[in-house]
């Protein structure tokens, strides 16, 4: 399962220190709008995880439509900006690729004097990714914790959870569904809706009375404990 790493730790200074920092909520949209001028892509409407909904974010996670945008072409646009504005720097100090993502060391509000934030441009189906990788402002948990919770429940029922492919049969690896409503009904019960999967808390409340509850949340509880978190 692709985990949404909301840390922002790809870029380092020559002495090994973090080259990027957390970004305040008020700076998220202006920074993404500045980036849109370079990429030519709408980023503000495709934020993922806790980006823009928490007081601060460790990085900026945004979805990019893999059917409409070529990854190498996007890297080329970022490199063109870097070559113009920091020609002596190695490309790797500004741009990196891993898995489904292109990472960019982004000046906050477009001004290096404000410091830099890591932007993760994640390729896939934006509409589904916004459901699969969503965070909630009123949740104690991050978007990645919600993914772990869903994956734990899926595993206990013979499925795998993927933020790019949806529910997948654990044995055959065949896709089952990417429809949010169907995912909710399959994992949480026939009366469940996509809104019940809004956060760790709403998911937990929906399955709390399930006789198989402890098995459903076993992996999630183990993971959360490592982060010092407990299910309600």
Series of mean pLDDT values for 10-residue runs along the chain (232 residues): 59 93 97 98 94 92 96 98 97 95 98 98 94 86 91 97 92 96 96 95 96 97 92 86
Burial of 4 (0-12, 13-18, 19+ CB in 10 A): buried
- Whether 186 and 92 share a structural domain: no
Same domain, 83 and 154: no
Q: What is residue 107's predicted lDDT score, i.e. its pLDDT? A: 98
Q: Are residues 148 and 85 in the same domain?
A: no
The verdict on 32 and 121 lying in the same domain is yes
Is residue 164 located within the same domain as residue 114?
no
Residues 215 and 141 in one domain: yes
Same domain, 173 and 219: yes
**Which range marks the domain in which residue 168 is found?**
135-226
Q: Is residue 47 part of a domain?
A: yes
Task: Please check whether residue 15 lies inside any domain of the structure.
Answer: no
DSSP state of 18: B
Instruction: Say how many domains are in the chain.
Output: 2
Classified as helix, coil or strand, 151 is helix
| Full-model pTM | 0.85
Q: Based on the number of CB atoms within 10 Å of its own CB, is 177 exposed (0-12), middle (13-18) or buried (19 or more)?
A: middle
- Residue 135 has a pLDDT of 82
pLDDT at position 136, please? Answer: 84
Asked whether residue 38 falls in the same domain as residue 61, the answer is yes
Q: What is the pLDDT of residue 2?
A: 47
Q: How far apart are CA 146 and CA 152, in angstroms?
A: 10
Q: Is 14 exposed, middle or buried (0-12, 13-18, 19+ CB in 10 A)?
A: exposed
Last residue of a domain, one of 86, 104, 130: 130
- Same-domain status, 117 and 81: yes
Q: Are 174 and 15 in contact (CB under 8 A)?
A: no
Shared domain check, 126 and 28? yes
Distance CA 140, CA 43 (A): 25
Q: What is the pLDDT of residue 6?
A: 52
pLDDT of residue 138: 85
The reported pLDDT for the residue numbered 7 is 57
| Co-location of 100 and 34 in the same domain | yes
């Amino acid at each position: 399962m692709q985990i949404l790493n909301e840390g922002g730790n790809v870029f380092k200074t020559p002495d090994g220190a973090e080259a990027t920092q957390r970004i305040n909520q008020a700076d998220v949209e202006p920074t993404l709008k500045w980036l849109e001028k370079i990429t030519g892509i709408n980023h503000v409407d495709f934020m993922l995880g806790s980006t823009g909904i928490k007081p601060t974010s460790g990085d900026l996670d945004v979805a990019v439509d893999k059917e409409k945008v070529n990854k190498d072409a996007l890297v080329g646009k970022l490199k063109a900006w870097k070559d113009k504005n920091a020609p002596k720097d190695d490309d790797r100090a500004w741009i990196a690729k891993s898995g489904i993502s292109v990472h960019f060391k982004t000046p906050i509000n477009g001004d290096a004097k404000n410091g830099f934030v890591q932007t993760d441009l994640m390729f896939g189906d934006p509409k589904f990714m916004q459901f699969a990788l969503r965070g909630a402002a009123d949740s104690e948990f991050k978007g990645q914790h919600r993914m772990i919770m869903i994956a734990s429940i899926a595993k206990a029922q013979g499925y795998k959870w993927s933020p790019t492919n949806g529910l997948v049969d654990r044995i055959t690896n065949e896709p089952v569904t990417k429809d949010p409503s169907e995912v909710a009904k399959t994992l949480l019960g026939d009366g469940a809706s996509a809104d019940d999967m809004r956060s760790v808390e709403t998911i937990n409340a929906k399955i709390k009375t399930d006789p198989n509850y402890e098995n459903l949340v076993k992996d999630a509880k183990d993971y959360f404990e490592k982060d010092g978190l407990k299910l309600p």
